[in-house]
Structure 1
Amino acid sequence: MKLLGSLNNPFVRKVRIVLAEKKLNVQLDVEEAVPGTLSVRTHNPLGKTPCLVMEDDASLYDSRVIVEYLDTLSPVGRLIPPSGRERAAAKGWEALADGLLDACVAILAERKRPDAQRSRDLIAAQFETVHAALAAMDQQLGEQLFCMGVNFSLADIAVGCALCHLDSDFQELDWRTAHANLVRLHEKLLARPSFADTQP
């Protein structure tokens, strides 16, 4: 298998951390998801990364789909609960963290537009989403060791990738001051080899 994606893409990083935690060896082909990039679009009609190309040349895309598949490949370090409410809770954490990242992507895209065309209302609305997601994650985490309680899971990986992205691309956003629970989790995650080895 090989993974197509950029080293700076937080969704790609989520997949890379899952690979490391599951001890799965997958070739990484560094690709930027630039419109018209043939090698990406050959495997993903949406032209986006991450994209996982399997041995039979079939492909999976969207980080949520990829990590769910990867978690089934090895019994080592199960990251997603098998069923029921716990599984829904873990996927809910992932959706919340990914939603925060989607808002960040929208902000960055809008900032690239010429100043005369830039929508400050859109940017403000996306920042509201970021702040609301941070507050919800901090409140839900509470005093727990990890997002799902005592066990490290996909929820922690997703949240950790989102927080690291804020640190790299939104340094003006002081998310730590009002979110002590997330700070504690973030520091714990950065000490894991899977996070340390995938720093952009």
Structure 2
Amino acid sequence: MKLIGSLTSPYVRKVRVVLAEKKLDYRLQVDDVWSKASEVGAANPLGKVPCLVLEGGDAVYDSRVIVEHLDQLSPLGRLIPPPGRERLQVKTWEALADGLLDAAVLARQEATWPGRSDAQRCPAWIERQLGKVSAGLKAMETDLGDKPFCCGNHLSLADIAVGCALAWLEFRFPDLAWRADHPQLARLLDKLAQRPSFVDTQPPQG
């Protein structure tokens, strides 16, 4: 399998962490979707990463679709439960984490995209997106409580999605200081950060 992605995308990192936790072999093709030389469009017409190219050449895209496929490839360390209430909880956590990221990415793009001047940027739009981030963090903190993991006593896709989202906030929004108001989430991230799958997929600094 070949995974097309960037080293800084939290969605790509989610897929890479799942690959590591499942101990699946793959080749990473680093691609910059903002570059004219980007090649991901040949596999994903949306021009987005991550994109997983299977051995037969078929492409799978959107991180949520990819990780569900990967979890089915091996019975080792199941990350998504079978159909039922627990599966619904795990997938809802993933949707919340990804939605938080969607808002944070939009806020960052509005604030930093070089295609706009400072006068063309919209502070109200940025504030609206960061409001979604704040609401997402509050909901996750409440739902996590004092549980060791998002959905109970074992690692699941929910934790991986949340961990990648929180780590990206620290990476791209170091001044957000979310830890002070969300100590349970901080505890979870610190625990996840010690796993080899997270250590080996840290984005490059700078």
Per-residue CA deviations over 1:62-114 (Å, capped at 9, x if unaligned) read 00000000000000000001111111110000000001110111011111231
Specify the SS of the correspondent of 2:95: helix
Q: 1:107, 1:99 → 2: CA distance?
A: 13
* Residue ranges of structure 2 left out of the alignment (5+ in a row): none
Q: 2:170, 2:201 → 1: CA distance?
A: 14
Match status 1:138 vs 2:141: yes
| Identity value in percent | 58
Q: What is the Cα deviation at residue 37 of structure 1? A: 4.5
Q: 1:36, 1:99 → 2: CA distance?
A: 28
Match status 1:189 vs 2:187: no
Per-residue CA deviations over 1:124-160 (Å, capped at 9, x if unaligned) read 0001000000000000000100001101000000000
Specify the SS of the correspondent of 2:132: helix
User: Would you say the 8 A contact 2:103–2:132 is kept in 1?
Assistant: yes
Q: How does 1:1-200 map to 2 (within 5 A)?
A: 1-34=1-34, 37=37, 39-111=39-111, 112=113, 113-200=116-203
Which residue identity lines up with residue 8 of structure 1 in the other structure? Answer: T
Q: What is the Cα deviation at residue 20 of structure 1? A: 0.2
Specify the SS of the correspondent of 2:79: coil
Q: 2:37, 2:58 → 1: CA distance?
A: 18
User: Would you say the 8 A contact 1:35–1:47 is kept in 2?
Assistant: no
* Residue ranges of structure 1 left out of the alignment (5+ in a row): none
Q: 1:160, 1:132 → 2: CA distance?
A: 17
User: Would you say the 8 A contact 2:7–2:13 is kept in 1?
Assistant: yes
Q: Name the stretch that deviates more: 101-110 or 34-43.
A: 34-43
TM-score, scaled to structure 2? 0.95
Q: What is the Cα deviation at residue 116 of structure 1? A: 1.0
Which residue identity lines up with residue 181 of structure 1 in the other structure? Answer: Q
TM-score, scaled to structure 1? 0.98
The count of aligned residue pairs is 200
Which residue identity lines up with residue 158 of structure 1 in the other structure? Answer: A
Q: Structure 1 runs of 4+ off > 6 angstroms? A: none
Which residue identity lines up with residue 97 of structure 1 in the other structure? Answer: A
Q: 1:139, 1:173 → 2: CA distance?
A: 19
